[in-house]
Amino acid sequence: MLHIINKSPFEKNSLMSCFACAKEGSAILLIEDGVYGVIANSSIAADIKAAMAKNSIYALSADVNARGIADKVMDGITLIDYNGFVDLTCDHEKLQSWL
């Protein structure tokens, strides 16, 4: 399953709820303000690293760049472009958007 998060983890609990529900092997894509979750050494960095142990975590590079955090992305996060976003949606039979 592909989980899509578009809310900042510092304003909403969508990302943490996703981590609690996502089955092992799921893909998690952070877009829009959700990309703030990939900042290294943040208050949720340990949660992100724990989630990376069982799920693939992606961030939309255009949103990372638009927010000026490209130099702060933690190791292990895969940055993708819009074509990669489309590929993820095609590669996963089910999608869940977290609001």
pTM of the model: 0.95
DSSP, residue by residue, 25-81: T-EEEE-GGGGGGGBTTSTTHHHHHHHHTTSEEEEEHHHHHHTT-GGGBPTTPEEE-
Q: How many domains does the chain have?
A: 1
- List pLDDT tens digits, range 68-98: 999 999 999 999 999 999 999 999 999 999 9
Kindly report the CATH number assigned to the domain that includes residue 38. 3.40.1260.10
The domain containing residue 13 runs over which residues? 2-98
pLDDT band at 99 (very low <50, low <70, confident <90, very high): confident
Mean pLDDT, residues 47-57 taken together = 96
Tell me: the pLDDT tens digits for 28-47? 999 999 999 999 999 999 99
Q: What's the full length of the chain, in residues?
A: 99
What's the token pair of residue 51? 């989630």
Give the pLDDT of residue 82: 98
